[in-house]
Amino acid sequence: MAIVEVLLETDGNIGIRELASKTDISKSAVQRILDSLEENGWVSQDAKTLSYRIGFKLLSMTNSWRLRLELTRHSHDEMVKLCDESRQTILLLVLDGYRGICLDKVEPERTIKLVAEMGKVFPLHAAACGKILLAFAHPSLQNHILESPLEPYTPLTIIAPSKLRLEIEKIRKERKAVSVEEMTFGAAEIAVPLLNPDGSLIAALSIAGPKFDVEPELDRFEALLRSSADAITKRLINDRKNNGD
């Protein structure tokens, strides 16, 4: 990580000798570490000068986290508002490989709470938030999930690929997903997608809580979610325009 930090702070390329000097690591150790980093795409070597720079893999990951932080910043106030209006737990999730990951959560003051901390990962075939991510993901990711074994979390989890494919089509058409006891007994959830102007996926926004609270309010919660999703995406788009992204 000391080597990575120096590379990130350096404009252009840097040689092994200078890296060794700045990190107080022997040249032979620096060379071994760089060889490993280059093999895995984290750094890149200039063929002429034999010096090194940060690779696109790390830059891409850094940019991804920047976008996630911006998403959280622009959505949190709306999530608090949603929580106040619904008195249920509000979740914001994004794709992370072949799963969903919780970026932010706002929950009401109540005795019954959902276990969905920030950083918690979710399967894409179960619960409304996961199914939204799956339905608006790239077809290659959808096919990977559909061709993989689907774990049953409860008897109501969709584990038949043909049934899940139909569920994906329905979700894309309606732009919402609903689940009742698909991952947790006694829990229900409704989710909508946050989409770029070109229709590509940004994130999933959901209201989740006890089945007896959520099911009777699905129509109202859907309207609240759509209003918040529109507000968040407008903020993101305006921010991109202002920053020239």
Phi, psi of 154 (to 5 degrees): -145, 170
Q: What is the pLDDT of residue 166?
A: 97
What secondary structure does DSSP assign to 101-162, as a single string? EEEEEE--S-S------TT-EE-SSSSHHHHHHHHTS-HHHHHHHHTSPPPPSSTTS---HH
Q: State the average pLDDT over residues 220-232.
A: 96
Q: What is the mean pLDDT of residues 108-134?
A: 78
Which pLDDT value is given to residue 207? Answer: 96
For the record, the structure tokens of 245 come out as: 């992204």
Going by pLDDT thresholds of 50, 70 and 90, the confidence category of residue 149 is very high
Amino acid found at 5:
E
Distances from the Cα of 22 to the Cα of 7, 30, 33, 139, angstroms = 10, 11, 15, 46
10 vs 147 pLDDT, higher one:
147
**pLDDT given at position 86:** 94
pLDDT of residue 38: 85
